[in-house]
Amino acid sequence: MTEQPADPDPRRRIPRTDGLLARPEVIAQRERLGDVVVRSVVRNVQDRARRGELAPEDVTTQVAADLDAAAAARPTGPTAVLNATGVIVHTNLGRAPLSAAAVQAVVDAAGYTDVELDLTSGTRSRRGAGTRSALLAACPAAADALVVNNGAAALVLATTALAAGRDVVVSRGELVEIGAGFRLFDLIASAGARLREVGSTNRTHLRDYADAIGPDTGCLLKVHPSNFRIAGFTAAVDVPDLAALAREHDVPLVVDIGSGQLRADPLLPDEPDATRALLDGADLVTASGDKLLGGPQAGIVLGRRDLVDRLARHPLARAVRADKLALAALAATLDGTPPPVTQALHADPDALRERTERMARAVGGTVVPHDGRVGGGGAPGVPLPGWAVRLPEDVAARLRTGTPAVLPRVHDGACLLDLRCVPEADDGRLTTAVRRALRPGQD
Ligand SMILES: *Cc1c(COP(=O)(O)O)cnc(C)c1O
């Protein structure tokens, strides 16, 4: 009887990390759970085998089982989505994706943070003082700034603080519904100001405003009709003329620009910006943080110091105050590096075409011209020329429910993948997702 050579060290038979990470079931979970979680699960199982709690032969199945358990235990919050629609500010997808700096700022602010504390003196400070400084640096035309929960809150706080129980004079051509059935004028009225509508749907003149101003006027309001355009026989009063009228009658002028551009962008000549509106004489400008500004959900008020102060002291300000994570993200968005929204808006068409052709070769689709859009009620009707990979329409549903989830555009009986809003670093993940959606049941 020959003697079995004794196993010198069973630990040598423990599968190595590289081999485990290359297994298809591990790769699949890595996309869901991320690299950090997967590596820690692998290390844990290997450690148990090293301690003799697990046979080396069982390591592979145990890793798979632990990864399944980790995936099942994951909280069911919002799912990350690759936006392949070409629509930059997509309200159903959470509007602006945060910049890397903003993400880091959110992580840093997640614990205790000096959001309302002056660390030098150790005493209480104005909430979000750093974010206010960042806004004033980015928009020097403003004397003061206040950040609230969202654009709608900025507008309702402004009109309530300046005109509760009094008149807000506004053009009938600007009584906007902002989506999901919400109308800005209902909101304004619900907080106690009276709307004094002037002019008609298509034409409003300076004398219409002048005729409406009286002892009961709280403020004049100009709202950018951001999500639609009226063409044809139209007239509206510009900010400089309204500002002159407001000064003449000593009433403040509030301008809701919506999109949140702080400065003019030559690509969107019809989109208002805060700097222009303030230089043209607006007393207060209100805007969203997560549209063209490219930051977190926030509402921004910029303008005269005495008026911003009145808003900040109004009881309603407490109900619409910005959270510390949004304040942190907003300040970091303004650090000078163009955020993802700006990058997608200014994406180089040739570079987009190259990426699109590479994707089409990899998955077997055709390249077609495709216009992106600003979206989110910004620059309606302005096309952003680019490209898309054209695939059969039925791929769309499998892309949406795949991992990672992908939202393509379904149009004209086809599934279109526009890479404008997909970070280039995610092209590989998108290719894998498309391949899987094209061949369901395989790999
Ligand atoms: C989007 C928009 C709002 C509302 O802003 P939110 O940040 O969505 O609350 C208000 N006014 C205008 C003109 C807008 O475009």
Q: Give 5's pLDDT tier (boundaries 50, 70, 90).
A: low
Q: What is the whole-number distance in angstroms between the Cα of residue 147 and the centre of ligand 1?
A: 14
**Mean pLDDT on 195-212:** 94
Q: What is the whole-number distance in angstroms between the Cα of residue 93 and the centre of ligand 1?
A: 16
Q: Hey, which bits of 374-413 come out as E strands?
A: 384-392, 405-411
Q: Give 442's pLDDT tier (boundaries 50, 70, 90).
A: low
Straight-line distance from the first to the last Cα atom of the chain, in angstroms, rounded to the nearest whole number: 47
Paired with 222 in beta bridges are 255
d(CA 30, CA 68): 11
Mutation pick for ligand 1 pocket among 91, 178, 341 (CB with most ligand atoms within 8 Å): 178
d(CA 54, CA 48): 6
Give the pLDDT confidence score for residue 100 in this predicted structure: 95
d(CA 157, CA 301): 9
d(CA 110, CA 328): 9
Q: Report DSSP state, residue 93.
A: G
pLDDT single digits (tens) 362-407: 999 999 999 999 987 666 678 999 999 999 999 999 999 998 999 9
Q: Which tokens belong to 27?
A: 């790769």
Residue 109: is it exposed, middle or buried by C-beta count within 10 angstroms (0-12/13-18/19+)?
A: buried
Does the pLDDT of residue 194 top 90, yes or no? yes
Q: Which tokens belong to 82?
A: 């690759």
Count Cα neighbours of 331 within 13 Å in the Cβ-side half-sphere. Answer: 21
Q: Is the CB of 258 under 6 A from ligand 1?
A: yes
Give the pLDDT confidence score for residue 11 in this predicted structure: 85
Give the pLDDT confidence score for residue 10 in this predicted structure: 81
Residue owning the nearest CA to atom 8 of ligand 1: 151
pLDDT single digits (tens) 120-138: 999 999 999 999 999 999 9
Does the pLDDT of residue 434 top 60, yes or no? yes
Q: What are phi and psi of 146, to 5 degrees?
A: -140, 135
Mean pLDDT is lowest, of 6-15, 238-247, 285-294, for 6-15
Provide the whole-model pTM.
0.84
Mean pLDDT is lowest, of 80-94, 295-309, 373-387, 427-441, for 373-387
pLDDT single digits (tens) 251-289: 999 999 999 999 999 999 989 999 999 999 999 999 999
Does the pLDDT of residue 231 top 80, yes or no? no
Q: Which tokens belong to 398?
A: 């499998």
Contact 282, 255 (CB under 8 A): yes
The fold of the 98-336 domain, in CATH, is Aspartate Aminotransferase; domain 2 (3.40.640)
Does the pLDDT of residue 2 top 60, yes or no? no
Q: Is the CB of 386 under 6 A from ligand 1?
A: no
d(CA 235, CA 173): 9
Give the pLDDT confidence score for residue 6 in this predicted structure: 60
pLDDT single digits (tens) 310-360: 999 999 999 999 999 999 999 999 998 999 999 999 999 999 999 999 999
Mean pLDDT is lowest, of 22-26, 188-192, 376-380, for 376-380
Does the pLDDT of residue 58 top 70, yes or no? yes
Give the pLDDT confidence score for residue 441 in this predicted structure: 64
Q: What are phi and psi of 296, to 5 degrees?
A: -80, 170
Gyration radius from the chain CA atoms? 27
Q: Give 31's pLDDT tier (boundaries 50, 70, 90).
A: confident
Q: Is the CB of 288 under 6 A from ligand 1?
A: yes
Q: Is the CB of 151 under 6 A from ligand 1?
A: yes
CATH tag for 81-89+343-438 (out of 3.50.50.60, 3.30.70.20, 3.90.230.10, 3.90.1150.180)? 3.90.1150.180
